[in-house]
A and B are shown apart, each in its own frame.
Chain A
């Protein structure tokens, strides 16, 4: 994938999650796992059709997936949809600095 295409996906993910209602829905799915539209509507300040619309936008952006079971549609997060947002080099630079701190503390406790 070209960098331009990647940038475009990234700004799309930002745009989709820029809406606070959508972001809340996404966070709930991330925290609670798979949920139906009606479960998501409970505890949300907007109507069920509005929730459905937000979920459709999240799905289009690759951030959630859906599964129909009878009449209910179940939604869950697609963590890989967040990939464009993560600066991996920065993430792992911090990760290894923390792990090396752990390692040094551990070595000091170890028998020689």
Chain B
């Protein structure tokens, strides 16, 4: 389940995804904050669970590769983790919150701070461009 919402911050948008997972918060917290585990589901990284820690995440796809520059801005064990996310000149903030629920944990991720000037609907102009756009996405991540 995922949905988009407007953030309280005027003029920016967010991506929100929220799922209830049948695992305790402590376990999910480990997957979110241990570098080797993050690499398993997110990206290779040099994350450390320390306030202010600066780290990089790297990805590669079809021979292209890219780096995401990040910094830990909030860390509250088993409940909240936030880091900045800078890629391709787009600077956003990623915040995970964990809330225990019967039988599991409600995990929410919000990536906020998208500048509306960069969210143009591509619309009709994109007709027939699908294959090219897929390549673009891999190139875009290279910056």
Q: Could you tell me which A residues sit within 8 Å of B by CB distance?
A: 1-3, 6-7, 10-11, 14, 17, 23, 27, 30-31, 77, 79-80, 82-93, 96-97, 99-100, 102-107, 110, 112
Contact = CB atoms under 8 A, between A and B. Distances in A.
Given A7-B120, A89-B114, A92-B111, A79 B41 contact: no
Do most interface residues of chain B lie in helix, strand or loop, or is the interface mixed?
A: mixed
A85 to B, nearest CB: 6
A1 B117 contact: yes
Interface of B: 2, 4, 13, 15, 17, 19, 21, 23-24, 27-28, 30-31, 37, 40-42, 63-64, 88-90, 92, 107, 109, 111, 114, 116-122, 125, 132-133, 135-137, 139-143
A111 to B, nearest CB: 9
A112 B27 contact: yes
B53 to A, nearest CB: 20
B28 to A, nearest CB: 7
Contact of B24 (A7, A92, A106, A112): A112
A24 to B, nearest CB: 10
B132 to A, nearest CB: 7
Nearest to A103: B41
Given A30-B135, A96-B17, A102 B140 contact: no
Given A83-B88, A88-B90, A30 B139 contact: yes
A30 B89 CA distance: 18
B140 A86 contact: yes
A100 B109 contact: yes
B2 A86 contact: no
24 contacts: A3-B116, A6-B118, A10-B120, A27-B132, A77-B139, A79-B143, A80-B88, A86-B88, A87-B120, A88-B118, A88-B119, A93-B15, A96-B17, A96-B111, A97-B17, A99-B41, A100-B2, A103-B31, A105-B41, A106-B40, A106-B41, A107-B31, A110-B30, A112-B24
A17 B39 CA distance: 35
Nearest to A102: B41
Nearest to B110: A96
A85 B41 CA distance: 28
B94 to A, nearest CB: 9
